[in-house]
Amino acid sequence: MPIATMLEYDFMRTALAAGIVVAVVAGAVGFFLVLRNLTFAGHALSHVGFAGATGAALLGGNPLWGLLAFTVSGGVAMGLLGERLRGRDVAVGIILSLSMGLGVLFLHFYTSYATQVTVLLFGNVLGVGPDVLRDLLILAIFTLGALGVIARPLLFETLDPELAEAKGVSPRLIAVLFLVIVAVAVAEAVQVVGILLIFALMVGPPAAALRVTTRLTSGFVFSILFAVAVTWAGISLAYLTDWPPSFWIAALSASLYTLSFAKDRTQRLDAAAGSK
């Protein structure tokens, strides 16, 4: 079927709108996440959210808000560790596995939720309805607004933490605020790619952007553009092939990152040739 017919369906228009909202947030927040070397912590937050979503479902609540509550709590806890969080892969990994274990336990007591668990784990942007889209838009406005407020001190503390602290920037406060923002972004991205594939949007495009340019402003813009591109392309390919959107988004994100190595290698070769 021609790709143009895709926009004739309400659910596809909603999916594309949700995709661009989530992709913009994931690209913006993921840029700083990669820049600060906290990608594993961001992945752990998604698993913490799994326990919150399944727990909320067990209690009869909205899984999205349970997911959000747990990710934000986890973000605050990780942020309080400050600089000590970096290099603590073992501790973060234990939190990650414990959260998944709690999620499985909650599912044991609420087996009727099994179908929705697949959505949580792997995402289903095609199933996003108008109400969820509205919630995602509200969360996106909050996330981008909060990121804009702390962007300058966040960047300062990321690039030169000692000087930033000497100038009065609190590393712990910045870490807490940023990881709370990451937590909200994770809760949004789960709606598109799921908990297990969160790296596809929040790490792949930003990492590729940081490889194709050395300028921070350009890297930030490319990160958002790459995230939007792989999301829209993934949804479009899912429409054409009837394969899961999450697979296409993850595959395109990995391909984009792989291609960024070729760009980086070309730049190095050009620089080497110019020095001779």
In a domain, 63, yes or no: yes
Q: For residue range 108-124, what is the model confidence (pLDDT) as tens digits?
A: 776 655 566 667 777 78
Q: Which domain holds residue 54?
A: 3-198
The angle, 0 to 180 degrees and rounded to 10, between the axes of the packed helices 130-159 and 10-35 is: 10
Q: What is the pTM (predicted TM-score) of this model? A: 0.83
Look at residue 272 in the predicted model and tell me its pLDDT: 41
Q: Using the predicted structure, report yes or no on whether residue 2 has a pLDDT greater than 70.
A: no
CATH number of the domain that residue 130 is part of: 1.10.3470.10
Task: Evaluate whether 48 touches 70 at the Cβ level (below 8 Å).
Answer: yes
For residue 56, is it within any domain? yes
Q: Which long-range contacts (CB under 8 A, 24 or more apart) does 246-253 make?
A: 246/122, 246/123, 246/124, 246/125, 246/192, 246/193, 246/194, 246/197, 246/200, 249/192, 249/193, 249/197, 249/200, 249/201, 250/193, 250/197, 250/200, 250/204, 253/199, 253/200, 253/201, 253/204, 253/205
Q: Is residue 77 part of a domain?
A: yes
Count the domains in the chain: 1
Is the residue at 142 inside a domain?
yes
Tell me if 242 is assigned to some domain.
no
What's the rounded Cα separation, in Å, for the pair 143 and 160? 24
**pLDDT of the residue at 23:** 93
Predicted confidence (pLDDT) per residue in 256-270, tens digit: 999 988 765 555 444
Torsion on CA atoms 104, 61, 114, 9, rounded to nearest 10: -140
Closest CA relative to residue 172, chosen from 156, 157, 187, 192? 157
The residues, ordered by sequence, that sit 6+ positions from 166 with a Cβ below 8 Å of its Cβ are none
Contacts of residue 233, defined as CB under 8 A and 6 or more positions apart, other chains included, come to: 248, 252
Instruction: Give the residue carrying structure tokens 């909205």.
Output: 62
Residue 222 lies in a domain: no
What's the pLDDT at 3? Answer: 67
Q: Is residue 215 part of a domain?
A: no
Residue 161 within any structural domain of the chain? yes
